[in-house]
Structure 1
Amino acid sequence: MAQKPIVIGVAGGSGSGKTTVAKEIYRQFANQSILIIEQDAYYKDQSEKSMEERLKTNYDHPLAFDNDLLIQHIKSLQAYESVEKPVYDYTAHTRSDKIIPVDAKDVIILEGILILEDERLRDLMDIKLFVDTDADVRIIRRMVRDIRDRGRTLESVIDQYTSVVRPMHNQFIEPTKRYADIIIPEGGQNRVAIDLMVTKIKTILEDKALLKK
């Protein structure tokens, strides 16, 4: 059996560009054995709560995530075992009854706002990235995304950002920057940082004899 897969953590605030960075790294290794796991898929099941209670969910708080299951799945993938990734239903505000089968790969990209907050998750990562983008850029990106893709009003996006997203970012996300091996300013727009990251990953894969020539 090959050596265990490498795990690359990509963290950063909402709208920072972390998803763009994760997808760009994935694209660079498209002919390799690689997968992406999104922390967003691991929001806790809330089926036992009323809809009124579910609507109060703070999705930017560490307690919103089922990290126990996420850690279990990462460890299984590192052992080259398949997992069943959950699917979160944002309309019902709880986990759906659907799952996505995920086969093990040599490179695992773990992406999410709070993946560096839990020491147990950090200990599973070979490389830890933090995508660091100015707050004004992040709020503009979030406005565009939520209004365009999620049918939100401008007022509701601003209210959520000022009452929840910004304080949670300052309290829980921003401090995790100190755990990062590499900080990438401006996310997916930073070609130099992404190219350096890709080169580093290639070196690790070659050292582990995982890179397909």
Structure 2
Amino acid sequence: MNQWSNFTKGFFKENPVFVMLLGMCPTLGVTSSAINGLGMGLATTFVLVMSNIVVALVKDFIPEKVRIPSFIVIIASFVTIVEMVMQAWLPALFEALGLFIPLIVVNCIVLGRAEAFASKNSVGSSIIDGLGMGLGFSLALTILGTTRELLGSGKAFGLPIFSESYGMLVFVLAPGAFIALGYLIALINKIRRAG
């Protein structure tokens, strides 16, 4: 598999949210707005890329018995960095994402890529894979957040698109996440089958 297809598989063929249905907790929990979705996606991308790099570098030194716990410690280190940086420089986003930032540690996308890809490939390939999967995840969260924000309040990225009287409250609330995600997955599946 060439590097380009390795990068793009996270966007289309193996999108973590729309195709593999991974990382549903942050997907449904934080996407009430486009900014929240983008912020969570980029935070996860950073952790994914950095943990892939470290796992690819140290994979030969980690005993088989402690492989998964070691990966979790590596991931947790980068999540702590993200959490501290976000708390210092982006306090509003930090407050909006809340508990979902520390939960990146147990996000199945991050641990899955460390185990399935980075532990078996080179550093360069692991960076490409982490970027592709992370940016695909970011794209999915941003699309879902934009959809929910637009339908729920008539805004996108906080900017008014429709009049103030527009908006369906259900899309800003938890049930709206399930409804919007279901329709987006159906749309993506229809596009993938047509192409």
**Shared topology, TM-score over 0.5?**
no
Structure in which a larger fraction of residues adopt strand? 1
Taking structure 2 as the reference length, the TM-score comes to 0.31
Structure in which a larger fraction of residues adopt helix? 2
Taking structure 1 as the reference length, the TM-score comes to 0.29
